[in-house]
Amino acid sequence: MAHTNAIFSGPGNGGILIEPAEGDFRIDHDQKFNSITNLQYVFHKPTGAWAALSWRYDSGLVAGSVPDFATALTLSGDQQAATGLFCGSTFATPDAPLTGCGSPDRGATRLVIPADGTEDDVENPPRVAPRHLLDLGIGADNLFHGDKAKVRVRFSVVT
């Protein structure tokens, strides 16, 4: 498990920044919570048959270039489609970007965009949407019970 609170503050006196930042802001390493859990069980010792499950959760890194929905509308169609930008039931595509939205049901599926007027570089920055990754694996580390040469078989599914 991890928690990273990464706020950048320009130097108060001196430093090597040519153009000092105006105010504090969270850098892209900032993440409220992430964790990785791994469970593994060996079924049969001679063949080394096993099954494993890994679960990873990421609460979302800072994505400071899209502070509000109006800014998201200025992105290219490809960028809008990559973030999953939508207005009502209409999703942006690389060939048909969204240029406006009058619906209160708007946002992005892969990006958490702060509500209009609430974005703050320290307290409420835009973030990548939270995600869960599951990895299920099965295999055998010595399939034919060999003493010198061992045959491994592994299969894994990630969702």
Is 107 contained in some domain?
yes
Between CA 71 and CA 12 the distance in angstroms is 31
Q: Is the pLDDT of residue 20 over 80?
A: no
Is 149 contained in some domain?
yes
Q: 24: which 2 tokens?
A: 């504090």
Burial state string for 26-37 with b = 16 or more CB within 10 A and e = fewer than 16: beeebbeebeee
- Cα distances from 96 to residues 89, 123, 127, in angstroms, run 14, 33, 24
Calculate Rg over the CA atoms of the chain. 23
Confidence tier at 147 by pLDDT (50, 70, 90): confident
Is 6 contained in some domain?
no
Render pLDDT for 78-117 as a digit per residue (tens, 0 to 9): 999 999 999 999 999 999 999 999 999 999 999 999 998 8
Q: φ and ψ at 50, to 5 degrees?
A: -145, 165
Q: How many domains does the chain have?
A: 1
Torsion of Cα atoms, 72 then 77 then 80 then 82, to 10°: -150
Range of the domain at 145: 31-158
Q: With H, G, I as helix, E, B as strand and everything else as coil, classify residue 70.
A: helix
pTM: 0.72
Q: Which H or E run contains 79?
A: helix 77-83
pLDDT (average), residues 7-34: 71
Is 137 contained in some domain?
yes
Is 14 contained in some domain?
no
Render pLDDT for 32-78 as a digit per residue (tens, 0 to 9): 899 999 999 999 787 789 999 999 999 999 887 888 999 999 999 99
Instruction: Determine the residue type at 2.
Output: A
Is 12 contained in some domain?
no
